[in-house]
Amino acid sequence: MSAKSSLGVKLPTDINTLTAKQANEMVKCLNDVEYFIRNYVYVQHPTRGAVLFDLYDYQERVVDSLVNHEKSIILQPRQSGKTITIVAYMLHRAIFFPDVVIGVAAHKGDGAKEVIGRFRYGYENLPLWMKPAVRSYNVFDIVFDNGSKIMSQTTTESTYRGKSLSILYLDEFAFVNPRIETEFWKSILPTISAKGTEFVITSTPNTSEGRFADIWFKAERGESDFNPIRVYNEEVPDRQELNENGEDFKTAMLKDMTPIEYAQEYDCAFVS
């Protein structure tokens, strides 16, 4: 999709001069990523449409880790806002810092599209005066006129091989095919070893074996450079509510899944 045909996109010809108030807001957002997210980043609610992203406590912990650690690994239940939290942080980095190159590696092609889609949604709902203009605006990559760009690809053996990245984000990494995972890891080692490169991994657990499990357990033991963040199902607000039948979340979910599946997907248990 070209920039000219995209609604909510600022073009290089769209020149605006900041007011004193707008300039002050830009400084506030630059210095405080949570302020930026809470006041300017919109997410798509299934029934209410565009709503400001009001971070939950556990999402604040994730953002804090991203700000203060070069390497973060996040273990989180299904449908608890894993991806959108990372996207909001990446949007901040791409807008307020020039020449930031972000690479996203998703488990599947649909996941790669989803990450860019959420990034686009957040960008398109920003006020015009805050937006950098775009040079390219496509399904799998976006380039801003400040030199920052985000790319999103399916995880393969050669994804981002030879690329210099400011941020590398692996989404649902525990579910990448083991053969692909091994070769992919070899290909990105030079990238993630570069000083200053930020590296973020999020996933629900899969088995107790594999690269994600190995990184997680080492991080928990303090044997790696990764800062581990574990999100518990009980921290997700809507998981504490009863449904229309008076059932709690777990009781309702166990009607359609096994206890082992529930333990893996929502209790974040590594199942062998």
pLDDT over 80 at 184, yes or no: yes
Number of H helices, E strands in the chain: 9, 10
Q: Output the pLDDT for position 6.
A: 52
Residue 50: pLDDT over 80? yes
Instruction: Collapse the DSSP code of 119 into the 3-class scheme (helix H, G, I; strand E, B; otherwise coil) and give the result.
Output: helix
260 alpha-carbon distance from chain centroid? 27
Tell me the average pLDDT of the chain: 91
**Residues 227, 233: contact at Cβ < 8 Å?**
no
Query: Which helix (H) or strand (E) segment is 169 a member of?
Result: strand 167-171
Identify the band that residue 62 occupies on the pLDDT scale cut at 50, 70 and 90: very high
Q: Closest Cα to residue 120, out of 168, 155, 88? A: 88
Instruction: State yes or no: pLDDT of 26 exceeds 70.
Output: yes
- Residue 182 CB coordination number (10 Å): 14
Are the C-beta atoms of residues 143 and 149 closer than 8 Å to each other? yes
Q: Distance (Å, rounded) from C-alpha 262 to C-alpha 158?
A: 33
Checking if the pLDDT of 208 tops 90, the result is: no
* More confident call, 194 vs 19: 19
Domains defined along the chain, listed by start? 56-115+132-265 (3.40.50.300)
pLDDT digits (tens, 9 = 90+) for 3-20: 444 568 998 888 888 999
What average pLDDT does this structure show over 207-219? 91
Cα torsion 240, 244, 247, 253: sign: negative
Residue 37 has pLDDT above 70, yes or no: yes
Can you tell me the mean pLDDT for 192-206?
Answer: 92
Q: What is the pLDDT of residue 4?
A: 43
- How do 167-171 and 49-52 pair as beta strands? unpaired
In whole angstroms, give the CA distance from residue 262 to residue 256: 10
> Residue 234 pLDDT > 60, yes or no?
yes
Chain segment 141-182, per-residue pLDDT in tens: 999 999 999 999 999 999 999 889 999 999 999 999 989 999
The maximal CA–CA distance of the chain, rounded, in angstroms, is 58
Q: Is the pLDDT of residue 67 over 50?
A: yes
CA 91 distance to own-chain centroid: 9
Percent of the chain scoring above 70 in pLDDT: 97
Confidence of residue 31 (pLDDT cuts 50, 70, 90): very high
Q: What's residue 2's pLDDT?
A: 41
Task: Give the span between the Cα atoms of 12 and 244, in whole angstroms.
Answer: 51
Residues 79 and 83: their CA atoms lie apart, in Å, by: 9
Q: What is the CA radius of gyration of the chain?
A: 19
- Residue 272 pLDDT greater than 80, yes or no: no
Closest CA to 32 of 67, 7, 4: 67
Q: Which of 90, 86, 103, 99 is nearest to 159 (CA)?
A: 103
| Predicted local confidence at residue 80, as pLDDT | 83
